[in-house]
Structure 1
Amino acid sequence: MINKSEANTSRNHPLNFVVGAYIQPILVAYLQQGGRLSPLADAAAVNDLWMINPPETIAVEDYFRLFLSASELLKDPLLGIKAGQSAGLENFDVLGEALTNLRTKSLTLGHALHQMMTLERLVHRLGTSRIESGGGNIRLIWRAHFQQHKAARLVCESVIAGIIHLAEQLTGRLIPVMEVCFVHARPADYHEAEYQQGFRAQCRFSQSHNSIMFAADVLAWPLKNIARPSVADSTAGQVVEQVKNHVGKNLLNSPKLPQIAAILGQSERSLQRQLKQQGTSYQQLLADVRLHHAQDYLQYSNLSILQISQLLGFREQSSFNHFFLRGSGLSPKKWQEVNRAGAGSN
């Protein structure tokens, strides 16, 4: 899995590490697809306890071996994307704590990204980030330190997906990415729909850098304090926000009331009652979230209207067109023309 020269490179440089908590997104993605820990431990040359309770830091070599072993056991070359989408603030150690604190200070996504780059070296030595701006857009570039390694595709796709997912956790909104670039070549098993679903953006390969591009305006989005309340402290108003958060995360699959109620650990009837007390309903919240995210994507992404409709869970673009016209008073195309022109004149 890792050749001798690659293993010696990481072994001879003790500062090549990742924090132990960084393996958790890999394990979550692996287990969600039916993987079993014991075969993975054997393949990665570690024991089960090492994975369940990893040391504070682990060698890059061990991290690569675990990632490659999990992907090969599942026969899933897209495990990197899924691991990135499974990452939470708790997986970023000191960085996660710092970003969590930012959410209580009315700061923006731009502040969070700069904090991430400042503290990145405390979390791993897999690569470094920087931001470039131009033409009203921002490009976050991630330079991998092991770009020629066999694990590079998994790691780079995981990092890019993880940054997007982290930004969405911090803002409470789907991030309308304009473009994702990778240094590695287009995979032989490449399927556009799977990558589009994973990154919600157009993906380009064999580029000079690994990067994410989005509109500069997105950096000004405020961070949202989405600390999860305890069951005892939960109120109907908080439940509304919880429903909206979970609906936003699952729009692609057209989430239904029973699914969201189960996620929140409630019965359908109880959830409906609490929403009614707040003067709303599940269908209204679903429509509100869809419309809000549709407007973000139409204004700030490079996806076609058809692609946006699919990401929001509509089977046909015509259904999305009717929904958007009813909610905004304009067709998606006309709304996009008006708002992109307005943004450009500011």
Structure 2
Amino acid sequence: MTTLADHYYTSCLDYLETLGLDSQSVLSAIHFSEYANKQAQQLAPRISLSSYNALLDHAQQTLNEPLFGFKLGQQIRAADFGVLGYLIESSNNLASAISSLLIYDRLVADIGKAEFEQQEGIAIIRWLPDASCSSQAILRNMTAWVSVIRQLLNPQLSPSSIFFTESWPDNEIKRLAKWFNCPIKINAQYNQITFPSSYLALPFKTDNAAINLALKQVSAQQLSGFKSQQRLAEKISHLLMAKNDLDDCNLIRTASALNMTVRTVQRQLKQQDTSFVCLLENERKRRLQGYLGKYPLGIVALKLGFNDQSSFNRAFKRWYGCSPLYYLKYKSIKT
């Protein structure tokens, strides 16, 4: 499952509010409906990557800001990272903070993997995003890392270089280079930040060993709970992804394949604030991107497991607010 914490998602909405955009209007525009039944959850709510991409893309287009993720990343606060943010703040130095990031990053967003290495006096922190991550999500993540470290160490601190797998025009690269105060490399193999290894030993002004230890215990408990809660949804998502098509794909067959009762599957998925219907819909939307425009709509409907094209058309209008034909003619799929 590719998800992010509710507080990381709502921090985007908070920033948009400061720019004059109403949160409810924005959520309505992207057809967001993931805040239902929050009270029934055992863990903090998680938001899907598709909804995150939709929010960032909508903001980029509405504000006409091609580097919206970059602007958003500059506004990051410890609270936006939840307990991980405070854990990093209470670390004694950058090396300790990076260690916590590598272990607990998925508490904030399970949409990529952080890696770290050192090479002859140069330290490298790399982020391997999920293939579905938008360029704005990548921009926010990379910018936020640098912004947080500047807040904790020195506002003038600069990396040696920043690498992006994405590409931007020269004027936008100049904007990035001016803020990061280092060379920007585009079309790279990895999204990564390089900096002198000597930075690792720089002490944090907010160092607090006692609080750091307590927060590590809390983070470990949350991570354990998160892994446990995610397991069944991940299994079902993987089962759906492995099927050649989604015909005759239903809850009864899936529960049987997992050697579980239907009621048990429903109960555990409800605790994770999802359902089989939601997981199936996510898989249908994921496959749709490769089908639409390639096959006749009737074939697309069958491949996605709909009984007929009219059922597919209704689902499509619910997802994107228009018919498949209109979408093919005037738009492109972004979620």
Q: For the superposition of Structure 1 and Structure 2, which TM-score range results when normalised by the shorter chain?
A: 0.5 to 0.7
Query: How far apart are the structure 2 equivalents of 1:131 and 1:190?
Result: 30
| Residue of structure 2 equivalent to 1:169 | 151
Which of these residues, 116, 129, 133, is aligned with residue 144 of structure 1?
129
| Residue of structure 2 equivalent to 1:120 | 105
Partner SS for 1:45: coil
Contact 1:141 1:211 in 2 (8 A): yes
| Residue of structure 1 equivalent to 2:237 | none
Length-normalised TM-score, structure 1: 0.54
Which of these residues, 62, 68, 71, is aligned with residue 60 of structure 2?
71
Query: How far apart are the structure 1 equivalents of 2:14 and 2:113?
Result: 25
Which of these residues, 10, 13, 16, is aligned with residue 27 of structure 1?
13
Partner SS for 1:71: helix
| Residue of structure 2 equivalent to 1:187 | 168
| Residue of structure 1 equivalent to 2:192 | 211
CA deviations 1:159-197 (Å, max 9, x no partner) are 00010111122224432111000112x224743331123
Query: How far apart are the structure 1 equivalents of 2:130 and 2:33?
Result: 27
Query: How far apart are the structure 1 equivalents of 2:170 and 2:182?
Result: 18
Partner SS for 2:195: strand
1:156 is the counterpart of 2:145: no
Bigger mean CA offset, 212-221 vs 16-25:
16-25
The one-letter code matched in structure 1 to 2:27 is: A
Unaligned 5+ segments in structure 2 are: 209-335
Name the CA shift for 1:191/1:124 in 2 (closer, same or farther; >3 Å). closer
| Residue of structure 2 equivalent to 1:84 | 73
Query: How far apart are the structure 2 equivalents of 1:74 and 1:92?
Result: 25
| Residue of structure 2 equivalent to 1:41 | 27
CA deviations 1:77-127 (Å, max 9, x no partner) are 11100111111111112312322332xxxx211111111111112221111
Larger RCO, structure (CA 8 Å, separation 6 or more):
2
Query: How far apart are the structure 2 equivalents of 1:189 and 1:136?
Result: 30
Query: How far apart are the structure 2 equivalents of 1:86 and 1:217?
Result: 26
Contact 2:69 2:140 in 1 (8 A): yes
| Residue of structure 1 equivalent to 2:274 | none
1:225 is the counterpart of 2:206: yes
Name the CA shift for 1:191/1:121 in 2 (closer, same or farther; >3 Å). closer
- Cα offset for 1:28? 4.0
Query: How far apart are the structure 2 equivalents of 1:174 and 1:83?
Result: 19
The one-letter code matched in structure 2 to 1:86 is: Q
Q: How many residues align?
A: 203
Contact 2:2 2:110 in 1 (8 A): yes
Name the CA shift for 1:63/1:218 in 2 (closer, same or farther; >3 Å). same
Query: How far apart are the structure 1 equivalents of 2:173 and 2:197?
Result: 26
Contact 2:73 2:144 in 1 (8 A): yes
Query: How far apart are the structure 2 equivalents of 1:27 and 1:119?
Result: 24
Unaligned 5+ segments in structure 1 are: 1-14, 228-346
